[in-house]
A and B are shown apart, each in its own frame.
Chain A
């Protein structure tokens, strides 16, 4: 299933709920042709890859979110994953980073354009 995310709060909740799973977010727009073409493929992948979380963001409805993640073109796919290893160092680092950036999660990978093949490759690589 593909969740629709409308703002930063919903994104944060989604990422938190994902735990250690790979998260794939599609930034798309209603007026974008390639977005329409790749959506069925994206949806099919969400059904196939159960251990991966899929969501979509409409850049016109969620403008601030699109701006925060520097979306320049659509569709853009961003992948997120929390690191499994938790040490004292990573805890301190996270505390400092979160303090500075306000706990903004950085994507581990970004793909611009409707390249279904590359998208699936990367999902399989990171999941």
Chain B
């Protein structure tokens, strides 16, 4: 859907490059159909792979009877008892509903529902400051829908805050209505089926009202552990988050029971991380390796209209860990070549590399805001994993013309106070 939104932008750019393209409206149903079909094909592919590897697949809802026994119930109500030497819990998480807000459950939807809507969500209010909230609000805006995002305090709390600010700034200047410091109080359904939302401006304590076709809650995710009967197995969870406590081997409080992915406490909530952790766990259990999962320097990308890719520490985290005197931050604003001809606004296209100040200046974190951020960040993630230094980055020749080369061309430090807007070579 993010790609569908980006294409809208490219259709607008096309005439500048000489294409006589008519500006066409977007048809939600066509896109939703394509997305849904793709998801179904992925699910089928997974089932085929399980069969291929002779994995027995039980389509049942499981819970613990004791530490070695699991009881599963099928859709038809049949119960199956299973016991095993090792048990791995990977039940993930689900979007959270703000149950304390009147009407939230009955009238709001979550990201789970967004991809399965047959009709356009229309005028939408996205509540939340997570990457899910920003990505959804961003793509809906890109598809031409009237979109508002309501953020209670700060966007992308767990990310570098300067970058989070730039991401949100870009959205605000490109058609998304951003309401900061507001919290919803009530959702009511009007006779014409629209939703009326009442919210409070936390600073002024003033109330405001708005009408929307859809309200999307993206306020965080909760682990799927409530129906597992973990107590029967003796598996401990964090009482606040509900997530399963694990050690470096992914083992829970019960030695032969493991937990990976979003359901485990303290792990990045990312799919590729869970997959690798699972793979390594399987290899350890079968005696092929003793390697543990490395949760450091995991790269990720937020697919907002202007994408934000990052790997390693945020500036704040680096300063907290090493002290400001020991950290050097190199940065630059740049203009993607593809923005020049159509005269796109590149004000938030920015790169920041956080390094240690002592030579060889180990790179602690890289933050890239711009088009194709995922592709750019993936390559540099390898360098950071190999403990690249700023010197090595400087010696890496750039590929021209790309946005990625700007990473290798970073010369201006924040400490120098010089203008990070680069014009020439």
Interface residues of A (CB under 8 A from B): 29-33, 59-60, 63, 67, 71-72, 74
Contacts and interface: CB of A to CB of B under 8 A. Distances in A.
B96 interface: no
A84 B41 CA distance: 39
Nearest to B40: A31
Interface of B: 36-38, 40-41, 44, 47-48, 51-52
B58 to A, nearest CB: 14
A68 to B, nearest CB: 10
Given A31-B37, A60-B44, 14 more contacts: A29-B40, A29-B41, A29-B44, A30-B37, A30-B40, A31-B36, A31-B40, A31-B44, A32-B37, A33-B37, A63-B47, A71-B48, A72-B48, A72-B52
B41 A31 contact: yes
B37 to A, nearest CB: 4
A71 B45 CA distance: 10
B44 A67 contact: no
Nearest to B34: A33
A31 B41 CA distance: 7
B51 A59 contact: no
A30 B37 CA distance: 8
A59 B37 contact: no
Residue of A31, A33, A63 with highest tally of chain B CB at under 10 A: A31
A72 B44 CA distance: 9
Contacts of B52: 72
A60 B48 CA distance: 11
Contacts of A60: 40, 44
A72 B46 CA distance: 10
A32 B48 CA distance: 15
10 contacts: A29-B41, A30-B40, A31-B36, A31-B37, A31-B40, A31-B41, A31-B44, A67-B51, A72-B48, A72-B52
A77 B221 CA distance: 43
Contacts of A72: 48, 52
Contacts of B36: 31
State the 6 A-B residue pairs at the shortest beta-carbon distance, nearest first.
A31-B37, A31-B40, A31-B41, A67-B51, A72-B48, A29-B44
A71 B44 CA distance: 11
Nearest to A60: B44
Nearest to B39: A31
A13 B365 CA distance: 65
B50 to A, nearest CB: 10
